[in-house]
Structure 1
């Protein structure tokens, strides 16, 4: 029988480590997820490698512990936890529960004490113990049966501390780690130690004397020196610091080793949390699948010949695609039902069938579809122009609840208590095991999807009407799907030669920058290695150390930006990194997405994804092309019209979210500024800094701009401090001054939170809802995030509604004017058209007219436009 193994995790420490190791990430609902994601990847790795029989995650219970009785300033210097991290703790706990791992915290004690107590009990029972933390304090617990894993690079790389490793690294025993902390102190825990004693001195003293107590017993015989004076003057502090650094292994815990048995995760619960947090890569790598449910019997027939009596005036249809990349995939089959009879048509029969083509193109024949945009795009490849879409399950479900996780028919139908259809994973398998099943199984699966759409349609539409959202669905999202479908089918031409020339130019620039870096460094090294770069910058060139990681010096972008004035090499390194990313992600990435048959990219617009209603694009993502760097902006030179003598025409809303904020808050100063046509950031700087317009500096305007847009996105003092490279205190003052200067904004924020607490949701101008189940939570972190979401969602969501309405109106106006111009792209607040040069004068007149009047606000909407031979020239 294998030996028992207990795995003990330091929850707070690992969450903090993950938060600061990874960039701020958010899921589609706007919840920050970097700490939860890092914690999960660490947990996955350690579970896979260690295969424990028992597990526990320990958390700190609160700010006050028994150590504060000895020293009131214990941990007193710590900054308040960033709200972007605080909001993730409930999700980390949710993840731990889904893994079926015991978690525990104890009033007046720290996670370290819980871990120390359980480790001691386990060793007494001859159980092997592995402790995982980001805090080296725990290394004092190492024994022959206890190994302490300390995370270093990122979150998944660990250094394993055994007594032998500690001896090799420090020349000390594990228990002497406590003495070392007693002498050198610990700034992170505000343990004072002996001033002037660092790690090297502490180790030297301990090698000579053995312990703090032995050192002070022999202090009189020590040779006179400044060090001796410091030790004598701070004896009490040394003894106190050792006491504070000692992990208590007799904590009165109520959990026993028998409670910690680990048998594996609850797969359904874990998948649900991963979906909620948007951990798509983890889901794809996982072997977990949903539970296969017993299905009710379904009667359907496989069509051998398409006849007129098969096609009715009102039907649910489902076109099954090989994958979601429908511009480069094949159709697997089509099913349709009128609620009484259900038929499956094999893919080969769908192609070139005039009877079916006429029915699909007949606008008087009502079609209920799971995803009309994808279906429209797929059928267009068969020269079928889908018409008559009367219901779209994906869009209707999204409006009823934008937090629904998943877009397959099984998931959507299940939200409305219909479960007579299986997930694609169950039918096809996943990853390398994906395969099309035999025709009978495929036919039944596709038929079940059509039947699901038919049965769910009245339920969902009733819900939309009950919520007063039917107009939003029917008049905005449904027609928008048709417009977006046309845009996806149309695509935008990308000149591969231009991209390749850019790639060659960037490679040449990289070679020059590389040479400059080597000259300034005085040697060649791997610029992409943070470790080698750290040695060059901080050891060889002597630049000031701003941040350290477990493996050495931090060379992250924020660190390098702060060092630009210190040495010329830093500017070159930042430039090198930016150009390298442009080359690999955008130039090479875009070239791969160009379709050879038309030299275009056909991005897919995700219409039912974000919680705010914003569109996003994938394959490729055209919303992320970096435009701060000139080389990044130049990538837009490759986006060109489809025809000779045509131009690209770009129109974008100016500060749309701030205009929506002015409209919703009715703040007189904001409304007046927009009505007067003032620069809003200058106006904000005038009010926040209390200076006239002529005294507003570029830095003041920059700070005002960050606060303006930060307010819209519910920014915290931590987030603003990162954006402006200022202290959190200064950032908090900026925010307070802003809210004092615009009391209407403060009033709006307070009232919207109160309304959300009553209703449980917030709405946009067009009644798009976002539900906030945590708005009344007793958990401060969950409640705080819900409150920030309540403040910013109506603004972001209303801006999304406006541009969506503008797209529908523009599509109609182009047809009304009989123009050849086509709408190609939507990127953030910008619309991009292509048109013959002779139609530019008409576009200059009608585009601002349509966009500025898409929805009437209390302040004017403003549209800027330009045109040129490429997207770059049109800016």
Structure 2
């Protein structure tokens, strides 16, 4: 085995993969730079260096301009879309980063990276090297030999994948890796516009090469071929040989193999450090420059913050010398005064400057932060005294569980000056715990003080467990950031890293993780003080940064009038919960078990053998090898056939077994995900299920939920709808009331576009799908058939999501030409819809964002992209986001108003569930009529529009009956 290990990276292939990996959740710096490609590439590079430990390394790039292949075939790569702008911006940064890491950049004019890597790989293998070509590009398979491998890093799958001779041959069904060239010669390559032989796909090409050995061997045996395939091969000899040459990686590139040049070395810190700062790669910095981190922490082992190695917030001293005074900085007099501070603002400036010039970053932090343990009645009384004098403070709770309903409080922390915080431990004895919380009731329930938190709903619910209401204005840093950057992450660690250049202590350092995770009650007071106080301190500093941003983006009303009031509403719903009928679930489980066994037997009979229906590999072999259902069946990266629902749905009419398999999957999912799982979610404390609502997940503004995920409860099939039967009122004095917006998104589309036909239909109570069918198919309203209405309904809803003729044809199972005619007719009959969509996209091209009716923004960074795929995705979001987001705004306003109505009227009824456009109530029988009237009124008038809003109402002994 060679002792030296060389990694050769195909830079562009890795950059493109990183771009698409992050396309739905890009990494954007504080300056607006999209660093997704650079981050993905760097992370992959680091993984390889640290895990594979190469002795030598190089990164190959394509250079602008054509290559010798363009001379052979001018149309080579001609069909490629414009390179996404984010990739164009990323390439220079990747090159700078590679150079700063002292890794050779390999580029030769007139040749592609494939050729450079291929040439060096072959030369290195002769010099006693194990060579790994790092790329997802299948073309490289032709180069694999005894000491040369393809290497697909972990970013492309669950684990890194190394392909040697055996793996390459098995993957493509060939005898020798070099036959990959022959495969490509026959099947072509759409990405590079290599033509191949028309009608010959991968499977056919593999069979031909297996039979005849090569393209040359195939054409020496033309007499053995017949039918359409034989005709295609005979008529396209020139294309086949041209394609083979285009696919062949050149191994004689004019580049020398310099072992010393490729030897791995240490990064150039003076170049790498400022680049990492510009890219805001704070976490990667610790991995790229470990010596820097060790130096900053090693000189300060006494610091209470040595568990965190990054730069802390540095505004603390200046804040401390401002108008607010810590209880520990005040004079003995009970009323604090600025003059009582222990140093002046000028002193603070001097101390900070001195600290920066003479100390490491951790030493600065030791000077800046002061976290205090408030573990006596006297200290708690003093803290209450100073908290009551604040205009605002931040607080955070530490508990025994992430489940707010069942959690017990372990302690809570406060911060009102940056860099200083206070931790109050709470004993396990619940009587004593309640007594300590009572000491702070006047603080939490003071309506004149703003309360700041990160995911403050959780803390609010914890306090409610102890009978304390959180009153006054609230500010949630998680929700503030969600409004500012809806597609980014919003956790405290991410925000601290992004805005404060600081990584907080992780909870895993205190209680471990996984099955071995402990409890916060087991943590030493001093350690938990540092952790808890830091949370409050960091959140306070984040608020100081995020609030001005909210103001500058004109998002104050959205935050303070919608999202923050909704926190109380959702907390109330979560605490209330919903009762589950265990008997109904047990009956359902038994029925499903029987049905699953029956349908499994049917599948076995149709397949002619028993197999594991839940195994994608075994299922793929049955469908595509044994039953031959699809000659163009695709295989996944692991070499097995793809058997996803989208694949099987297209084959439903080809064989009865497909419908049976889809039914089998539905039944298994219903049983495992809902029927058998719901009982496990019932709280031992309340006997009900308490779903958690997430305000900061969906970029459109819609709510999502977990444990259980209510939004995913199936409703399209009878069996799926049966699950709702298990959701029941709390006792016989109550019933379930359901109120569901009717076609809310279409109504909003009508209002935004001002289309007279749609507005008239909605405002006059005429069925919108029949109206659409009447106009599109040019028949009288009374002559609209159910099939016409079905097609019109699909168009109505599809238009909002940017449906194409191809998409419509797939959904309706009609020819693409017919689908195009329907869409064209729609635009003729509803021209204002088209005008609205075009003007929305055009405006978005200027502003780079779209807004809902309440001003919620969805940023569209790719709306002007030259890359068709990226731009198309942004254009669809430009139409959908204002409509779907406005629907989300509307139901949120309705929820706030209904919650206030129930509270004001002191009703016994409670709002308990929100799913999509539906609200569900546990309604007292004596209040049903009044509740129905007011809920309908408040939902329909939540946000006044020119279109009439309607709700569907239902009452029943369970959710299914009510819906």
TM class by shorter chain equals 0.7 to 0.9
Q: Distance in 2 between matches of 1:780 and 1:855?
A: 36
Assess if the C-alpha contact under 8 Å between 1:617 and 1:623 holds in 2.
yes
Match of 1:802 among 870, 884, 890: 890
Q: Distance in 1 between matches of 2:37 and 2:781?
A: 42
- SS at structure 1 position matched to 2:712: coil
Match of 1:374 among 438, 458, 482: 458
Report deviation, 1:566: 2.7
Cα 1:598–1:50, aligned 2, differ >3 Å: closer, same or farther?
same
- SS at structure 2 position matched to 1:325: coil
Unaligned runs of 5+ in 2: 29-35, 286-306, 313-361
Cα 1:141–1:272, aligned 2, differ >3 Å: closer, same or farther?
closer
- SS at structure 2 position matched to 1:300: strand
- Residue matched to 1:309: 385
Match of 2:396 among 304, 316, 319: 319
Q: Distance in 2 between matches of 1:386 and 1:592?
A: 31
Q: Distance in 2 between matches of 1:723 and 1:40?
A: 41
Residue pairs, 1:424-823, within 5 angstroms: 424=507, 431=514, 436=520, 437-454=523-540, 457=543, 460-549=546-635, 551=639, 553-693=641-781, 696=784, 698=786, 700-714=788-802, 723-724=811-812, 738-775=826-863, 782=870, 784-823=872-911
Assess if the C-alpha contact under 8 Å between 1:58 and 1:104 holds in 2.
yes
Match of 1:140 among 139, 142, 160: 142
String of CA shifts for 1:258-297, please: whole Å, max 9, x gaps.
Answer: 5795989989839699xxxxxxxxxxxxxx9983643322
String of CA shifts for 1:118-165, please: whole Å, max 9, x gaps.
Answer: 434543554322336666543221222212468999775858341797
Q: Distance in 2 between matches of 1:125 and 1:767?
A: 64
Match of 2:212 among 205, 208, 221: 205
Match of 2:310 among 281, 291, 295: 291
Q: Confirm whether residue 345 of structure 1 aligns to residue 424 of structure 2.
A: yes
Residue pairs, 1:133-212, within 5 angstroms: 136-148=138-150, 160-162=163-165, 166=169, 172-179=175-182, 182=185, 191-193=195-197, 199-206=206-213, 212=216
Cα 1:303–1:173, aligned 2, differ >3 Å: closer, same or farther?
closer
Q: Distance in 2 between matches of 1:664 and 1:720?
A: 24
- Residue matched to 2:320: none
Assess if the C-alpha contact under 8 Å between 1:148 and 1:160 holds in 2.
yes
Assess if the C-alpha contact under 8 Å between 1:29 and 1:612 holds in 2.
no
Report deviation, 1:434: 7.0
Q: Distance in 2 between matches of 1:522 and 1:395?
A: 56
Q: Distance in 2 between matches of 1:231 and 1:808?
A: 69
Q: Distance in 1 between matches of 2:877 and 2:257?
A: 37
- SS at structure 2 position matched to 1:328: coil
Q: Distance in 2 between matches of 1:35 and 1:693?
A: 53
- SS at structure 2 position matched to 1:609: coil
Match of 1:359 among 442, 453, 465: 442
Cα 1:441–1:194, aligned 2, differ >3 Å: closer, same or farther?
closer
Report deviation, 1:808: 0.8
Cα 1:57–1:707, aligned 2, differ >3 Å: closer, same or farther?
farther
Report deviation, 1:854: 0.5
Assess if the C-alpha contact under 8 Å between 2:184 and 2:196 holds in 1.
no
Q: Distance in 2 between matches of 1:691 and 1:699?
A: 13
Report deviation, 1:717: 6.4
- Residue matched to 1:387: 471
TM-score (norm 1): 0.81
Assess if the C-alpha contact under 8 Å between 2:849 and 2:860 holds in 1.
yes
String of CA shifts for 1:531-575, please: whole Å, max 9, x gaps.
Answer: 332333344444343513163544332232222223322222111
Cα 1:815–1:607, aligned 2, differ >3 Å: closer, same or farther?
same
Report deviation, 1:780: 6.1
Q: Distance in 2 between matches of 1:168 and 1:712?
A: 41
Query: Which protein, 1 or 2, shows the higher relative CO under an 8 Å CA cutoff with sep ≥ 6?
Result: 1
Q: Confirm whether residue 300 of structure 1 aligns to residue 372 of structure 2.
A: yes
* Range with bigger deviation, 362-371 or 838-847: 362-371
Assess if the C-alpha contact under 8 Å between 1:184 and 1:202 holds in 2.
no
- SS at structure 1 position matched to 2:369: coil
Cα 1:694–1:498, aligned 2, differ >3 Å: closer, same or farther?
same
Q: Distance in 1 between matches of 2:66 and 2:817?
A: 24
Report deviation, 1:852: 0.1
Cα 1:709–1:801, aligned 2, differ >3 Å: closer, same or farther?
same
Report deviation, 1:849: 0.8
- Residue matched to 1:329: 407
Cα 1:599–1:27, aligned 2, differ >3 Å: closer, same or farther?
farther
Q: Distance in 1 between matches of 2:865 and 2:704?
A: 30
Residue pairs, 1:222-261, within 5 angstroms: 236-250=238-252, 258=261
Assess if the C-alpha contact under 8 Å between 1:651 and 1:831 holds in 2.
yes
- SS at structure 2 position matched to 1:375: helix
String of CA shifts for 1:292-348, please: whole Å, max 9, x gaps.
Answer: 643322253423114363651545242323454323334231123454985321122
- Residue matched to 1:3: 4
Aligned residues: 843
Cα 1:90–1:495, aligned 2, differ >3 Å: closer, same or farther?
farther
- SS at structure 1 position matched to 2:705: strand
- SS at structure 2 position matched to 1:175: helix
Assess if the C-alpha contact under 8 Å between 1:303 and 1:343 holds in 2.
no
String of CA shifts for 1:798-834, please: whole Å, max 9, x gaps.
Answer: 2111111100111122233332110111111111111
String of CA shifts for 1:503-531, please: whole Å, max 9, x gaps.
Answer: 12111111111122222223222212233
String of CA shifts for 1:823-857, please: whole Å, max 9, x gaps.
Answer: 11111111111112222111221111110001101
The alignment yields a C-alpha RMSD, in angstroms, of 4.9
Q: Confirm whether residue 399 of structure 1 aligns to residue 483 of structure 2.
A: yes
